[in-house]
Amino acid sequence: MAEKLAIDGGKKAITSPLPGWPQFNENHFAAALTPLKENAPNYWTNRKGKLPSGKVGSHGMEYEERFARWEGSKFAISSATGTAALHIALGGFRIGPGDEVIVPSYTFIASSMCVLQAGAIPVFADVKPDDHCIDPKSIAKLITRRTRAIIPVHLYGCVCDMDEIMAIARKHKLIVIEDCAEAHGSEYKGRKVGAIGHAGAFSFCQSKHWTTGGEGGMTVTDDEEAAWIMRSFRDHGYDVAKRMSLLELEAHLPYIHRRLGWNYRMTEIQSCLGIYELSRFEKWNKPRRQRNHRILVQELSGHPAVANVQYEDKKKECVFFVFPIILDMSKLRVDIDQVTKALGAEGVPCGPVLWPQSYKEDVYRLNVGQGRNDFPFHSREYSDPKQTAKYKDLALPNAMAYQQNTFFTVCHPLLEPKHMKLIARGIKKVLDAYAK
Ligand SMILES: Cc1ncc(COP(=O)(O)O)c(C=O)c1O
């Protein structure tokens, strides 16, 4: 007989609280204080960075160089948030009004909102039913004469089918911007995600693989011309190349603003935190995350009510942000809401699937854009009625299915194997109790 569930008055599977993520230590405190003690907390004023190249520069420039080396990309451009990092990537490839960008709807809103911020139109693709990632077949069907880019999202740390996506991009001359906000360190055929497409964008928001103090972002690319535009785009449209070359000379800075730009710079406090986190990622953060998710895979694979927990194969190595579990609902007597409620009562950290249908948000349904004319939904560049964005009747079946059959749990590095086993035990207890 199945154990009595905590939600029905039984004993909880997890009785003491599990460690949360993130937790800060003395190294974080020292890192955050460093630029304050140096009286130079701004990207442009600090000169105390230890750049691997030996150049003079700030901690921000050091973080960029170190991140680019770790990532295996030629250039890295730091920014205030992951959303800014995506916007910067689009800006670097001059994607804007009149353009369409194909993006999955099953992702955080920023993956598509960055497209609106750039003045372009997001076109929503469906995902595959077993790995949470954009379906290349769905992409192919959405290409029009306006399509300029694809944003594959490596959701939760799962890895998209990059060979297929890059082949579509090559065929149609499209730019690929990988949204890696949830996938730091995940790899496809031995290359880190973000380094496969034309650009990659990372987030260092509080809950992510690591945080730069609550917010932060990084864009990577191998395209030198795009990288300079990205730096300028991040920085009031400034001629950053010129400014960088003057930095070592401490020369008087001319006022040169070459394009429309934003101020998306990262602070030195954020960069110092990022440098510390990057220094412990490969030896501490990544192996512990992988160990933890693999315990869940081992414990849950083969359970009759589990449809999929195996996202890795010869091509794909995952480092999970949170760990998604796809259920076979035909084997259960209850719906996914009841499953997550019961898991919560057992003390299992969990949540419902994260945002499968972005197109249902008012911003899209009601076309609420910039200004009184709701740019770019209604704009001259986008006035062809046959081409106009229509989100009202959109329904992507695989994205919708995830809403009914998936939840996530945690696998962050502060959790020990004993915690992961307790989590797996709690999950199995709930699934067994609700088995048909
Ligand atoms: C998939 C995805 N893309 C983009 C973002 C945006 O990052 P940020 O919150 O740092 O702006 C996030 C995170 O919140 C995300 O999960």
CATH code, 184: 3.40.640.10
How far is ligand 1, taken at its centre, from the CA of residue 203, in Å?
Answer: 6
- DSSP character for 153? B
Per the DSSP assignment, residues forming a β-bridge with 351 are 408
The answer, yes or no, to whether residue 383 has pLDDT greater than 80, is no
Q: What is the mean pLDDT of residues 234-238?
A: 95
How far is ligand 1, taken at its centre, from the CA of residue 407, in Å?
Answer: 19
**Domain-located, residue 235:** yes
How far is ligand 1, taken at its centre, from the CA of residue 204, in Å?
Answer: 8
**Domain-located, residue 410:** no
d(CA 249, CA 252): 9
pLDDT for 250: 60
| Domain ranges, residue 273 | 26-279
Q: What is the mean pLDDT of residues 16-29?
A: 97
Q: Is the peptide bond before 22 cis (omega within 30 degrees of 0)?
A: yes
d(CA 250, CA 398): 56
Contact between 89 and 177 (Cβ < 8 Å):
yes
d(CA 50, CA 36): 17
DSSP H stretches of helix in 281-411: 286-300, 336-346, 362-365, 397-405
**Domain-located, residue 291:** no
pLDDT for 248: 61
**Domain-located, residue 50:** yes
Contact between 285 and 209 (Cβ < 8 Å):
yes
The answer, yes or no, to whether residue 22 has pLDDT greater than 60, is yes
**Domain-located, residue 78:** yes
**Domain-located, residue 337:** no
Contact between 300 and 428 (Cβ < 8 Å):
yes
Note the pLDDT tens digit of each residue in 139-154: 999 999 999 999 999 9
Number of domains composing the chain: 1
pLDDT band at 272 (very low <50, low <70, confident <90, very high): very high
Q: What is the mean pLDDT of residues 249-269?
A: 85
Q: What would the two tokens of residue 82 be?
A: 């992951």
Q: Tell which atom from ligand 1 comes closest to the C-alpha of 203.
A: 10
**Domain-located, residue 218:** yes
Ligand 1 pocket residue status of 82, Cβ below 6 Å: yes
Residue 265 in 3-state DSSP? coil
d(CA 56, CA 38): 15
Ligand 1 pocket residue status of 34, Cβ below 6 Å: no
d(CA 206, CA 140): 35
Average pLDDT, the chain: 95
- Looking at the chain, how many residues does it have? 436
Q: What is the mean pLDDT of residues 192-219?
A: 98
Q: What is the mean pLDDT of residues 305-318?
A: 98
**Domain-located, residue 99:** yes
Enter the pTM of the model: 0.97
The number of beta carbons lying within 10 Å of the beta carbon of residue 24 is 12
pLDDT for 385: 53
Candidates 71, 320, 324; CA nearest to 183 is 320
